[in-house]
Amino acid sequence: MFVVGLTGGIGSGKTAASDYLAAKGITVVDADVASRIVVTPGQPALEAIRQHFGDTVIAADGGLDRRALREIVFADPAQRQALEAITHPAINHEIRRQIAASASAYTLLVSPLLLETRQHELADRVLLIDAPEALQVARATARDGVSLKQVEAIIAAQMPREQKRARADDVLLNDGLLGHLHRDLDILHARYLALAATSSA
Ligand code: ATP
């Protein structure tokens, strides 16, 4: 299975890009979705979290009390590492399961943390959706109703654009009309179909 990892900062246009390729029949595996699945009741990662952090991080309905957990890991980097040591392998396992179940010509793995985690190891190729910070801020604030300060804090915590650009195989600058993004994606889609066909031959 040929896997294209798609990443980009907040408001860069990852969803706009993956929606377009999904409409062409490409299976999209979403790392954010996988990260929520692994902490649903009955999942081993949730039990491991309960064992490490205690019952205070379990909500009344048996699910994860995200707010309680966030407070613990926000205040303590060691606890954050402990949490990631539990969740990251579980998320990768879930992503691999979904990739294995994909029947499309290639599979798109969409993740804001593709390069920051080991998720990029699951991808044969990395596509970065890149946008100037001013546009990231404008799009994210308009979409989510979050403050300028919040978006700037998130951008500051993410891997810098330049580092991401250096590590990506393909970079699409999403600074124009959506139609331009789609035309650029048409070209890459054709390339990915060809690469997938060669890799499975
Ligand atoms: P996040 O990481 O925050 O989920 P994202 O990278 O998935 O963000 P999108 O949700 O695709 O980003 O885009 C952010 C917002 O900007 C959306 O409302 C989207 O419709 C809009 N947008 C994206 N690209 C363009 C564009 N080229 N022109 C106009 N609007 C755009």
- Report the separation in Å between the CA atom of 46 and the middle of ligand 1, taken as the mean of its atom positions: 31
**Per-residue confidence (pLDDT) for residue 75, from 0 to 100:** 87
Please state the domain count of the chain. 2
As a whole number, the mean pLDDT across the chain is 95
| pLDDT score for 125 | 98
* Nearest CA owner, ligand 1 atom 27: 178
- Distance, CA 151 to ligand 1 centroid (Å)? 13
Answer yes or no: do 9 and 44 share one domain: no
Tell me the H-state helices in 2-147.
14-22, 31-37, 44-53, 66-75, 77-100, 133-144
Across 79-95, average pLDDT: 96
Number of H helices and E strands in the chain, helices first, is 9, 5
Here the CATH number for the domain that contains residue 10 is 3.40.50.300
Query: Does residue 33 sit within a domain?
Result: no
Range of the domain at 80: 39-103
Looking at residues 168-193, what average pLDDT do you find? 98
Nearest-CA neighbor of 191 among 17, 2, 1? Answer: 2
Residue 200 has a pLDDT of 80
| 34 pLDDT tier (thresholds 50, 70, 90) | very high
pLDDT for 36 equals 95
pLDDT in tens, 128-176: 999 999 999 999 999 888 899 999 998 998 999 999 999 999 999 999 9
Look at ligand 1, atom 24, and give the residue with the nearest C-alpha.
13
Q: How much is the pLDDT for 20?
A: 98
Domain ends where: 66, 88, 103?
103
Within this chain, do residues 78 and 49 fall inside the same structural domain, yes or no?
A: yes
**Ligand 1 atom closest to residue 18's alpha carbon, by position in its atom list:** 11
ipTM entry: 0.97
